[in-house]
Amino acid sequence: MIEIKPNKCDFCGCCVGICPVDCIELREAEIEIIHDICIDCRLCEYICPIEVFEHVETAEV
């Protein structure tokens, strides 16, 4: 699962432009991933200029 490290984002929109399923909500100073839609492709993590995203392995059910 992709997560956002707190207090790191600069709200630049680069990840929003890349996300293939449009599941990143970006406001003036807020960012949120809509996890129901996210396909965990990690492109946002790879494009973010300042390493805001973190991929965490979710335990197998």
Partner 1 sequence: MWRQQKYDVIVVGGGPAGSTAAQYVALNGARVVLLEKDRDIGVPVRCGEAVSDEGLRIFVEPDPRWIKSTITRIQLVSPSGHEIEFDMKAKGYILDRRIFDYDLAQYAAQEGATIVTKAYVSGLLFDGDYVKGVKGQYFGEDFEISSKIVIGADGVESRVGRWAGLRTQLKMKDMESAIQKTVTGIDVDEHRFDFYLSRKRAPGGYVWIFPKGPHSANIGLGISGKYSKGKSAMRYLDEFLQEKFPNASVVSTFAGGVPCDKTLKKIVANGLMLAGDAAHMVNPMTGGGIIPGMRGGMLAGQTAADAIKKGNVSEKFLSQYEKKWHKIGGKNHERFYSIRNTIDKLTDEDLDGIAESVAKIPEEERTITKVFLKAVYKKPKLLYDVMKVFAGL
46 near partner 1, judged by CB under 8 A = yes
Q: By rule CB under 8 A, what string of x and - marks binding of each residue 5-44 to partner 1?
A: -----x-xxxxxxxxx-x---xxx--------------x-
- Residue 11 phi/psi, 5-degree rounding, is 60, 40
3-state secondary structure of 3: strand
Which of partner 1, ligand SF4, none does residue 36 bind to, with CB < 5 to 8 Å depending on kind? none
8 Å CB contact between 56 and 4 = no
CA 15 to chain centre: 7
Of the candidate residues 3, 6, 10, 28, the single one contacting ligand SF4 (CB under 6 A)? 10
